[in-house]
Structure 1
C-alpha cells in the first residue's frame, strides 16, 4: 500500500508522458498491458481496474469488435466502469462499491492485435 497520497495532477502529468510502448506486459493468457497501463496500475495501485477490464473483455468476440473503451468515473469513493465499443455504445458495465482510485475519471483503450488484447492509455494508441 502507498503510504503517501498520490497527487492527482502529478499522476495525470506522468501518464501524459506515455506516447507508445516499448513492451506488452502479459497479465493473463491473451491479455496484455502497455508500459503506460502498467505504470498506472502500479502508481495508483489499481491492478483491480485491469482485472475488471480483462474479465469483461474476454466475453467480446474480436471479429465483432476489435476496439473497446473503458471509462471509469469516481465519486465519493464509489465508481462506475463502462466498456464501450468505440462508438459510444455500452457493451458491459460494473459498479464498484468502494475505491480509493486517485483520479475522478480515467479512460483506457483495449485493442485486439491478432494474438490477444492489449489495454493501453489513450495517449499510447
Structure 2
C-alpha cells in the first residue's frame, strides 16, 4: 500500500499509544504506527528504540530529531539535537516509499512532528 506525506499530516496528537516490543520503555503514537504499517517500516522504529538504550550520544537526550533520507535503495538515518548530529547510520537496503521522513523522540515517545 502506498503512503503519502498527506496521509501522515492527518495525525495531530494521539489518543492511542503503542509500546515498542524490543524496548518496552518506548512508546509510539498512532501516526507512527500508521507509518510503520503502511510503509513497512517497523525496522525504522526498531533502529530508533534500540538507539535509546545503546547509543551513548542519544540515550540521555530528552528531545531528538530522527531523519531518514532515501537515495535509490539505500538510506541514511541520522539523529540530531539542535542541528548537531548525534549519530548517523548507513542503511544498505531499503524499500521505504518516501524520499525522506522525520520522526521526533520526546521523552520516551516516538512521534510525527504533526503530533507534537
TM-score (norm 1): 0.84
Q: Give the aligned partner of residue 52 of structure 1.
A: 47
For the aligned residues, what is the CA RMSD? Answer: 1.2
Q: Give the aligned partner of residue 70 of structure 1.
A: 66
* 1:24-35 matched pairs, under 5 angstroms: 24-27=17-20, 28-35=23-30
Instruction: State how far apart, in whole Å, the 1-side matches of 2:59 and 2:101 are.
Output: 24
Q: Is the 8 A contact 2:78 2:85 kept in 1?
A: yes
Rg larger in 1 or in 2?
A: 1
* 1:7-46 matched pairs, under 5 angstroms: 8=3, 11-27=4-20, 28-46=23-41
Instruction: State how far apart, in whole Å, the 1-side matches of 2:59 and 2:18 are.
Output: 22
Instruction: State how far apart, in whole Å, the 2-side matches of 1:82 and 1:13 are.
Output: 23
Deviation >4 Å, runs of 4+ = none
